[in-house]
Amino acid sequence: MYPTGPIEALKHQLDTLCETAKKGFVRLNTPCQVDSLIGWLNVQSVLPHIYWKSRDADAVEHVTLGAVKAFDSLVALQADLAALAGIGGEQPDYFGGMAFDPDSPGWQHFPGCHFLLPRIELRRQQAGATLSLNLRFDDRCPEAEIVQARVCLAALEEEQPLPCLLPHVYQREDHPAQKEWAASVERVTHPDHLSHTPKVVLSRETCLTTTETPNPWALLARWQAGAADCFHFGVQLTTHEAFIGCPPERLYKRKGRHLMTEALAGTTRRGRDAQQDQTLADGLLADKKNSLENQCVYQQLLTQLEPLSAQVQMSEAHIVKLCSVQHIRRLIHAELHRDVTDQQLLSVLPPTPAVGGVPRESALAFIRHHERHQRGWYAGVFGKISHASSELAVTIRCAHIGPEAIRLYAGAGIVAGSQPDEEWRELDTKIAGIMSLLGMG
């Protein structure tokens, strides 16, 4: 159970803060005991709710509540980062994400870009868990900021077990249907189209309607248990809508001026046993179509990073094995120029060729014209940004959950040699894990 002790400790620190001069960002911390961060998050009433955990083995697990400040543009976010860095002292973490197409986000309650400085943070690493209260003193009345912080503290609830995932009956509908999908693949692979746009990533929305959707946090907890090598994220901006996922793909990780990104493209299924699994992996690396798909991604990333970097290096291709699929991956490392910001990186890198296509503008034009469903934050980005370091994932392997429907998304890179039926089966493979959790495997 989540004890009340840490809350009282933060209240005491807040009382002490009232008696001191206040400027910039202030974080009050206290250790706490908690069994499940997601279980704690699920019972809280203060919105927004955010969950974030990197795929690294030693990654810090984060949940956040509320917002001290929110930003719907990268310009405003970068300005706040710079302002607090200029003041000095401890620097905050900002959490959030962006739509696949920020100019046309598509989902009602999800802006094209949304990052926030959370009011409450609960973080867990190997040494234990820490509950934090964040305050931001700028041009606002400091007394009002402290009052708002007190209100959030008073609203915190004790941790409760997550609800069970009960069986539901779902009605499935794919957008596009398989016949329309085949027509789009044929358009992309027509020689005239390939002559100017060698790769387009087409996507499918699988809509599962039901009388009552499952608890999104209980679903994420089950999902992440079988996706240890992936990022785990969840965001709930309103009471009845959530976006969760376990994506394998990193957009970038920055520590100081060192940046890591990757070309993750080219897919096959997992084998029934170790021998078949290795045969499929070897075939994936040797396959011309999948190699071309990966090449389109890494060439574009290298082109985008070169003007921003003093040095860029790339690894050899290797296989990443996930629960139901295997991917080709190349790791890319760059030393950024001193003045490069996260705003610049997020303005240049997404959407990557792994989720959009090559060249970007002509691929996006095809997607905007031919895809009838709204991608929203699918194939966008989500993660954590700070002055010293940042990390964001590409939001694939995800689910958009409303009160009466779950929407699952999957994409396939269409290049010369792509076959409609094979690509359709790849889409099913990519959503197989979450479909199994929903009882539709």
Q: Residue ranges of the domains in the chain?
A: 5-155, 171-437
Angle (CA) 230-112-427 rounded to 5° is 45
Least confident of 34-48, 100-114, 246-260, 379-393: 100-114
Residue 276 pLDDT exceeds 60: yes
Q: Residue 138 has what pLDDT? A: 82
Domain 171-437: CATH class, spelled out: alpha beta
Tell me how far apart the alpha carbons of residues 375 and 360 are, in angstroms, rounded to a whole number. Answer: 16
- Position 180 confidence tier, pLDDT thresholds 50, 70, 90: very high
Q: What is the pLDDT confidence band of residue 119, given thresholds at 50, 70 and 90?
A: very high
CA angle 258, 261, 262 (to 5 degrees): 150
pLDDT in the model for residue 1: 39
| 99-103, 130-134, 139-143, 334-338: least confidently modelled range | 139-143
Q: What is the predicted pLDDT for the residue at 431?
A: 96
Residue from 53, 69, 199, 384 carrying the catalytic annotation: 199
Q: What is the pLDDT of residue 2?
A: 41
CA nearest to 248, candidates 280, 223, 273:
223
Q: Does the pLDDT value for residue 162 go beyond 70?
A: yes
233 beta partners: 52, 245
Task: Give pLDDT, residue 3.
Answer: 42
Q: What percent of the chain has pLDDT over 70?
A: 99
249 tagged catalytic: yes
Q: What is the mean pLDDT of residues 335-362?
A: 96
The stretch 312-328 carries a mean pLDDT of 95
| Residues sharing a CB contact under 8 Å with residue 56, sequence separation 6 or more, in sequence order | none
- Rounded average pLDDT over 377-391: 98
Is 199 a catalytic site residue? Answer: yes
- Average model confidence (pLDDT) for the chain? 95
Of 18-32, 236-250, 327-341, 401-415, minimum mean pLDDT range: 18-32
Rg (CA), the chain: 22
Q: Is the pLDDT of residue 22 over 90?
A: no
Return the pLDDT at 105.
82
- Residue with the two structure tokens 């429907």: 405
pLDDT at 166 over 90: no
Angle between helices 420-430 and 178-188 (to 10 degrees): 120
Alpha carbon separation from 366 to 13, 193, 369, 378, 414 (Å, rounded): 55, 10, 5, 17, 12
Rounded to two decimals, what is the model's pTM? 0.95
Residue-level pLDDT at 4 = 58
Residue 142: pLDDT band (50, 70, 90) is confident
Report the percent of the chain where pLDDT is more than 90: 91
Marked catalytic residue, from 241, 249, 423, 426: 249
| Confidence (pLDDT) at 232 | 99
